[in-house]
């Protein structure tokens, strides 16, 4: 029936919007975590007086996102 089709279409549209919103939220949270990690590394670098390399940053990001 036409009403069921309309409801199904609306639900599908809402599901897609919900999925897109959730993906944006996850990406934003990941971005904030990476910024916080970069700030902590920057502070550690200044305190230690040494240079943190891109490899160090990449290793820290991998460790943060994929803890073992």
Percentage above 70 pLDDT, the chain: 87
CA distance 6 to 13: 10
Going by pLDDT thresholds of 50, 70 and 90, the confidence category of residue 49 is low
Q: Tell me how far apart the terminal alpha carbons of the chain are, to the nearest angstrom.
A: 52
pLDDT tens string 23-41: 999 988 888 888 888 888 7
Domain boundaries along the sequence of the chain: 2-65
Q: What is the mean pLDDT of residues 6-29?
A: 90
Quick one: DSSP state of residue 35? Answer: H
Using CA atoms, how far apart are residues 4 and 20, in angstroms rounded to an integer? 24
pTM metric for this prediction: 0.52
Is residue 60 within 8 A of residue 41, CB to CB? The reply is yes
């Amino acid at each position: 029936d036409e009403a069921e089709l309309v409801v199904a279409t609306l639900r599908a549209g809402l599901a897609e919007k919900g999925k897109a919103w959730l993906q944006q939220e996850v990406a934003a949270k990941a971005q904030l975590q990476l910024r916080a990690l970069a700030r902590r590394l920057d502070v550690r670098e200044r305190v230690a007086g040494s240079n943190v390399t891109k490899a160090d940053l990449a290793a820290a990001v991998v460790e943060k996102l994929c803890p073992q």
